[in-house]
Amino acid sequence: MDQSSFRSVAPLLLLLLTVVVVGCATAPPVQEMSDARQAIAAAREAGAEDLAPAGLAQAEELLDGAEAQLEVGTSASYWQAKKAAISAKEVAFEALLTSRDARDAAAGRSR
């Protein structure tokens, strides 16, 4: 390809490259953030503030970290936010289960 041919094709190649790069951009983890918030709310409802405070606090810290990563706004930070939100959901779920187990055990002792 001679130089004049390259110059005529270069804008098209640049446009194509731009489309590819923009197309590969990662979207914010909206669903994962929502799932984490709902799991934390469910853990609270199950009494995790009293029965599993460490787990609930850890889930909230993970969610706070995910929200901070969202504010950065880069593809890499969105991946970090997604991972933190998924971890927050898992930890909140564990806190919920711990709370239910503790509540059930207490109910069994009071019978």
Total count of domains within the chain: 1
The verdict on residue 18 lying in a domain is no
The verdict on residue 22 lying in a domain is no
The verdict on residue 38 lying in a domain is yes
Q: What integer best gives the mean pLDDT of the chain?
A: 89
The verdict on residue 8 lying in a domain is no
The verdict on residue 2 lying in a domain is no
pTM of the complete model beyond 0.85: no
The verdict on residue 15 lying in a domain is no
**Local mean pLDDT, 10-residue blocks, the chain (111 residues):** 66 66 72 99 98 98 98 96 99 98 88 58
The verdict on residue 12 lying in a domain is no
For the chain, how big is the Rg over CA atoms in Å?
Answer: 23
Instruction: Print the domain residue range for 32.
Output: 27-109
Q: Are 84 and 40 in contact, with CB atoms under 8 Å apart?
A: no
Per-residue model confidence as pLDDT tens digits over 15-31: 666 655 554 558 999 99
Q: What is the pLDDT of residue 8?
A: 74
The verdict on residue 11 lying in a domain is no
